[in-house]
Amino acid sequence: MRSRREFLAVAVGAAASQGFAATMVRMRRIGWLTAQRAGSLTTYLEALRQGLAEQKIAEGQSVEILYRYGDDELGRVPEMARDLVAKEVELLIVQGAAIPAVLKLDLPVPIVFVTSADPIAAGFAKSLTEPIGNCTGVTFMGFEFLGKRLELLREILPRARHVTVLGNPMHPGSDIERASSEAAGRRLGISVDFIATLTSDTLEAARPALARIRPDAISLLPDGFAIAHHQAIMAIAADLKIPVMSGWPVFAHAGALCTYGPRLPQVYRRVAYYVARILNGAKPADLPIERPSQFELILNQRTARAFNLTFPRAILARADEVIE
């Protein structure tokens, strides 16, 4: 029969062995990759982390996230993607303009994307229920938003008869968004024209064109270029005294009259659902791509006052946020 001392020694040894084995279990590792700067995505990364926590995935405990930012240099993306794969990530979360560059690499890890583009037009999927290859994810794009914004403009600015749409024609789905805007304009009696803004040079060239056209408002298509250059866009609009409407909150906070579009933090929280499913063994091809399901209206009272406009009470009642 073992003595008490022998029993304790065995017990302590077993506990130590279990503790050592636990430390040898490698924390699961995933990658985050974007061509943008870190500061432009802080709010959305926090939403992603909240989503991961809701999925019982704790950064720094059950999973390690390796972050890579291109600092607005798209050419850096392939090298960063290969580096993450070399560091043995189990999957990649890829954001925005980096997605096509990463998919071309045909990497041996699943990819969860978050994009403002139409994934079908971009070639990421045959349909929302049929992702192509080893990827799936979420899209911000909703073609109905353009018509809703023009309806809002008609309520806020009843005299509006002419709207100029600024957008990147190379952004997948922009042709459908443009057509949707034109169809809504015809229905509302508003003429709609389009100015392509896909580079800094074309954006600056838009200034004299807008000065000549003098639209009643500018409607911005949601693409990465617009986000990256939102301050320059708003400066041009302010100089020409033309109100702006868009789909992303950053524009309302930069001086747009109003924004209506997807609730972006909620979209990023949904990315965590895909991460959890894939880490638990699901295949990307079996996970349909999601479109936005929650939307928000943000009004800028300062801008309205600057244009001698008053938001109707009905619109104020529907607003999710009013910037005073």
What are 262-314's pLDDT values in tens digits? 999 999 999 999 999 999 999 999 999 999 989 999 999 999 999 999 999 99
**Six-digit token pair at 234?**
């708003």
- Within 8 A by CB and 6+ apart from 65, the residues are 29, 30, 31, 32, 59
Given a cut of 80, whether residue 184 has pLDDT beyond it is yes
Residue 11 has pLDDT above 80, yes or no: no
The pTM of the full predicted model, rounded to 2 decimals, is: 0.84
Average pLDDT, the chain: 90
Q: Give the domains, in start order, of the chain with CATH numbers.
A: 10-19+21-139+264-286 (3.40.50.2300), 144-262+295-323 (3.40.50.2300)
Cα 11 from chain centroid (whole Å)? 53
Q: Is residue 253 packed enough to be buried (19+ CB in 10 Å), middle (13-18) or exposed (0-12)? A: middle
pLDDT at 173: 86
Give residue-wise pLDDT tens across range 41-95.
899 999 999 999 999 999 999 999 999 999 989 999 999 999 999 999 999 999 9
Contact partners, residue 226, CB within 8 Å, separation at least 6:
166, 167, 168, 197, 220, 233, 246, 248
